[in-house]
Chain A
Amino acid sequence: MELLKHYKTIFSRELKSYFYSPIAYIVISIFLVVTGWFFYSTFFLYNQAELRNFFQLLPIIFSFIIPAVTMKLFSEELNLGSYEIIATMPVTFLDIIAGKFLAAFAFTALMLAPTVFYAVFTAFMGKLDHGPVIGGYLGALLLGGSFSAIGLFASTLSRNQIIAFIIGMIICFSLTLIDKMLFFLPSVMLGFFQYLGADYHFQNISRGIIDTRDILYFCTICFISLYGCYLTMQEKKA
């Protein structure tokens, strides 16, 4: 297909480029230390063979970590000027955006992969209910993908990576916390704002209930963010 011919080349360049610098290793380490510490500090106190605590923390940790992963994707290219090269190579914008998004998504998945060990460990400790764990990981991937798309959008907004990070973090954090703030709102709007919250949908899936509404929610977030990328980059071209 002409529109999506080169996304693999761009994807592999972007993913490799994470590992050229120490940043990837640092981000993964921080993620594992933070989740591991928060999860195991209370694990033995509850005395329950489940990963619920881990999945409850995940949206907040992702809100910080994923914008840090995605911040460079466009900002660095705009700042360095290398965007001029990639934009004038025989690739479509769809190639560029798909390559970059999938690289961020793959990085998130790689970051999440070692935590499967928590599940294996917990399964040895007691009788682990598989449903919520599988649901939790599926939800984590959907959430990671959505936040990657948001981070990518934030990255198109500024040449400065720090600013891109902060914008991305604010959006992800708002989506995570919105359903915790519902008591400030009039009751007519409750349903709407609850539906807007990423955490609400993620917790649904991580209970092991896979509902199309939740999946649709994450897909919509991805689509809107990536379309936002297209609009901002198109704006720069005109």
Chain B
Amino acid sequence: MIKVDQITKYYDTFCAVDNISFEIQKGEIVGLLGPNGAGKSTTLRMLTCFMLPSAGSVTIKDYSINKNQLEIKKLIGYLPESAPLYHDMLVYDYLDYAAQIREIPAEKKNRRIAELADTCGLNDVMHKSIGELSKGYKQRVGLAHAMIGDPEILILDEPTSGLDPNQIVEIRELIKKIGRQKTVILSTHILSEVEATCDRVIIINRGKIAADSTVAELKKSGSEEHFLNLSVKNADFSELRSRLSSVHGVKNIIENQGKEGFTSCRIQCGSSDEIRPAVYETIKNSGWVLYDFHQESKSLENIFRDLTREN
């Protein structure tokens, strides 16, 4: 559905996006993840025909952004970063204006606006001017604006920024619901968002793609090592270490800062080895009381940090 082929974007001499390629199929929900200034917004702006790439090509459903911009714009509903809407218009007037441009027939227009007011929770603010709204409400109006023409592709630039936790959950549910029929691309720097909503994640760092896979695969890929955290009461760390290091598969043991009276440590082991029964056995035999015992798999946060860390 969307094919991005080696696009590069320069702002004067600064290279914001550097030779990126990816393909997105119909019905996918794709998260574009990256630190601030990684080139997420620039990439989205090129997909929406707001900017043209300095090199490379974008094809959306056989339309090229260099030639068929109007056709592409008809396919896409776009929410730019921080929803820059006209401050002087009323919410209803704004949606009405957007509906006119999206060529929604007059008899269906009011029904469509009412529908979106329900889905986006706008019923209380329909007759307020957009400038008076809080950031969260503006964001919702922006979302309603993006969806009004019922576009095949929805591109959302940081859709949940400025929303409160309840709204974030609602919007994520909404995105998932839309994603069943539509193609959704969203950018974010919040990792849990990607985990909660997206099928696939593309991590961008300094204008380059650092990873492109499903969330599950990504989590698996970074986990060559496991860590086991445990904490026991009234034990001596050196004794604990000497006993545990004899367990097969243990690579390293590091002392953790624990609470008063507890000894905590972090055991490093290979991902293929299952050392938990042996560790448990050792502790049990020594007579210590075990208070905490959990395995730490590499979280998306850690993977993200590894992939995007400044060198």
| Chain A positions near chain B (C-beta within 8 angstroms) | 2, 6, 9, 13, 17, 20-21, 80-82, 84-85, 87-92, 237-238
Contacts and interface: CB of A to CB of B under 8 A. Distances in A.
Contacts of A81: 80-82, 84
B87 A80 contact: yes
Given A2-B70, A84-B50, A90 B85 contact: no
B41 to A, nearest CB: 10
Given A6-B101, A9-B97, A20-B89, A88 B73 contact: yes
A20 B145 CA distance: 21
B230 interface: no
A17 B86 contact: yes
Nearest to B149: A90
Interface in B34-90: 45, 48-52, 54, 70, 73-74, 76, 78, 80-82, 84-89
Contacts of A88: 48-50, 73, 76, 78, 80
Contacts of B98: 89
B101 A89 contact: yes
17 contacts: A2-B70, A17-B89, A20-B89, A80-B84, A82-B85, A84-B80, A87-B49, A87-B50, A88-B48, A88-B49, A89-B101, A90-B73, A90-B103, A92-B70, A237-B52, A238-B51, A238-B52
Contacts of B70: 2, 90, 92
Interface in B99-136: 100-103, 129
Task: Give me the 4 closest cross-chain CB pairs, A-B, nearest first.
Answer: A81-B84, A90-B73, A20-B88, A90-B74
A90 B75 CA distance: 9
A85 B49 contact: no
Nearest to B85: A82
Contacts of B100: 6, 9
A214 B86 CA distance: 38
Contacts of B45: 84
Contacts of A89: 73, 98, 101-102
Interface of B: 45, 48-52, 54, 70, 73-74, 76, 78, 80-82, 84-89, 97-98, 100-103, 129, 145, 149
A9 B100 CA distance: 7
Contact of B80 (A17, A85, A237): A85
Nearest to B100: A9
A95 to B, nearest CB: 9
Contacts of A91: 73, 101
Contacts of B51: 237-238
A21 B76 contact: no
A89 B82 CA distance: 17
Given A237-B51, A237-B52, A238-B52, A85 B85 contact: yes
Nearest to A21: B88
A164 to B, nearest CB: 18
Residue among A9, A82, A84 having the largest count of chain B Cβ atoms under 10 Å: A84
